[in-house]
Amino acid sequence: MLRVGLTGGIGSGKSTVARCLADLGAVVVDADAVAREVVEPGMPALVAVRDRFGDAVFGSDGSLDRPALGRVVFGDAGALADLEAITHPAIWRRSDELMAAAPDGAVLVHDMPLIVEKSMGDRYHLVVVVGASQESRLERLVRDRGMDPTDARARIRAQTDDDARTAAADVWLDNEGSRDHLEVEVRRLWGERLDPFNENLIHRTRAVRPDHLTLSPPRVEWPVEAARLVARIRRALGERAVTVDHIGSTAVPGLVAKDVIDLQVGVRALADADDPQFVDALWRAGFPRVGDTAQDDARDGGAWPKRFHGSADPGRVAHVHVREVDGPGHRWALAFRDWLRVDDTARAEYAALKLELAGRGLSASDYAGAKEPWFDSVHDRVTGHSPG
């Protein structure tokens, strides 16, 4: 089951995206709806809210006056923390119940405003952020929800900024245009990424790039994308992963590379990586196992065994190399990355080799093998490098 975290600032259009995804077949769990449910009359959380905030946040019929409560807690960090301590445990319990009830193989969308603020991105296979300028959001809140402009601005200021949302976003849906345009973008996202990603998960299949070799100019997004994947792997594996690192060319600033994120998981022994619970944990996190065994060509002419997993996400191809921590393959991957990061001459030399091989029209498979002689030739330079 693909788990998608859907978020965005207040007034961004997140609810429109959620409705469109539901129409396309997703199971949507709406955190705001759950938050309303847990403070309905007769619910324990409602009693606790009255005990903490008093009758001033209740209507004459005994129901919670949410705008009044909002005016109390937004801008008062202590009051907000008290409210969250009352409601969040109940919200999470009910949300977990709804998610567990989703049918196998469904695309599950968690419509959750505070994914970024609460650093929850590693709970999902993808985080989709609906973005719009503060001016657009303010206009919508006043026009469509009838909010007082001062209250609307306070609500916007209480949330995180777009820089944090951008760093957390696997997908950014810009909503500065019309609703029709936004819905077209959502349908494209569903057809090109969400549905295929889910199918790959169901069938334990990794996403692959065409074998035609394409090198990309350096992208500042690569380390940020890798950090999100690393966090998901760490959460999935827990203590079974001794280390999780971004390696390969996309981990070297300024270096041309195939648009593939390489990650390395260090384990105490390869037998740990063969444990079915380990294999299933990576698969459920979005990284199915590829083959039973794998190996790298060692610099001494032998072979360095490893295990290999690939991302099921067609929008972000990633390779996960599982190696024994501090084994020769594990050490080489880190040493080679660090050498290229600090040695301008080595980085330029490697870039020239990459471009020369790409110019031959090699396939991606042949390209990998064609670099091996150069790796062998620089072995002593890599291993003789002392970081720092």
Segment 120-131, tens digit of pLDDT? 999 999 999 999
DSSP per-residue string spanning 99-139: HHTSPTT-EEEEE-TTTTTTT-GGGSSEEEEEE--HHHHHH
Mean pLDDT of 239-249: 97
In this predicted model, what pLDDT tens digit does every residue of 156-188 receive, in sequence order?
887 888 899 999 999 999 999 888 999 999 999
Binding positions for ATP? 11-16
Is the pLDDT higher at 76 or at 348?
348
pLDDT band at 388 (very low <50, low <70, confident <90, very high): very low
Q: Which one is predicted more confidently, 151 or 188? A: 188
- Give which of 151, 380, 341, 157 is closest to 254, Cα–Cα: 341
Which of 6-20, 192-206, 325-339, 355-369 is least confident?
A: 355-369
Of 6, 4, 10, nearest in space to 161 by CA: 10
Q: Based on the number of CB atoms within 10 Å of its own CB, is 369 exposed (0-12), middle (13-18) or buried (19 or more)?
A: exposed
Q: Are 382 and 332 in contact (CB under 8 A)?
A: yes
Asked if residue 289 lies in contact with residue 282, where contact means CB atoms within 8 angstroms, the answer is yes
Is the Cα torsion angle 263, 268, 272, 278 positive or negative in sign? Answer: negative
Residue 261 has a pLDDT of 97
Q: What is the reported pLDDT for 156?
A: 85
Please state the domain extents for the chain. 2-202, 221-383
Binding site per annotation, positions: 11-16
Residue 352 neighbours by CB distance under 10 Å: 11
Query: Average pLDDT of the chain?
Result: 92
CB-based contact 131:6 (threshold 8 Å): no
More confident residue, 268 or 152: 268
Q: How confident is the model at residue 361 (pLDDT cuts 50, 70, 90)?
A: confident
What DSSP string describes 309-325?
Answer: EE---TTS-EEEEEEET
Q: What tokens were used for 19?
A: 């409705």
Report whether 214 contacts 237 (CB < 8 A): no
Helices 134-145 and 149-158 cross at an angle (nearest 10°) of 130
DSSP state letter for 244: E
Percentage, residues of the chain above pLDDT 70: 98
Residue 365: its pLDDT value, please?
A: 81
What's the whole-number mean pLDDT along residues 257-261? Answer: 95
Backbone phi and psi for residue 375, each to the nearest 5 degrees, phi listed first:
-55, -45
Dump pLDDT digits (tens) for 66-100. Answer: 889 988 887 788 998 999 999 999 999 999 999 99
Q: Which of 18-22, 59-63, 133-137 has the highest mean pLDDT?
A: 18-22
Kindly indicate the confidence band of residue 351, based on its pLDDT and cuts at 50, 70 and 90: very high
Q: How many CB atoms lie within 10 A of CB 351?
A: 19
pLDDT, tens only, 307-346: 999 999 999 999 999 999 999 999 999 999 999 999 999 9
Q: Which residues contact 66 (CB under 8 A, 6 or more apart)?
A: 36
CATH topology of domain 221-383: Beta Polymerase; domain 2 (3.30.460)
Cα–Cα distance, 226 to 248 (Å, whole number): 11
Can you tell me the distance from the alpha carbon of 226 to that of 251, in angstroms, rounded to the nearest whole number? 8
Alpha helices in the chain (DSSP H): 14-23, 31-37, 44-53, 66-73, 77-100, 134-145, 149-158, 162-168, 179-189, 195-202, 221-237, 270-273, 276-284, 328-342, 344-359, 364-370, 372-377, 379-383
Return the higher-pLDDT residue of 270 and 71: 270
Identify which of 298, 224, 305 has the alpha carbon closest to the alpha carbon of residue 261.
Answer: 224
The letter for the amino acid at 75 is: G
Q: Residue 146 pLDDT more than 90?
A: no
Confidence of residue 60 (pLDDT cuts 50, 70, 90): confident
- Mean pLDDT for 283-306 is 88
C-alpha pair distances (Å), 132 with each of 158, 171, 184, 300: 16, 14, 16, 54
CATH number of 2-202: 3.40.50.300
pLDDT level of residue 386 (50, 70, 90 thresholds): low
Average pLDDT of the segment spanning 238-257:
97
State yes or no: pLDDT of 289 exceeds 60.
Answer: yes
| b/e per residue 159-174 (b: at least 16 CB within 10 A) | beebeebeebbbbbbe
For residues 254-278, give the mean pLDDT: 97
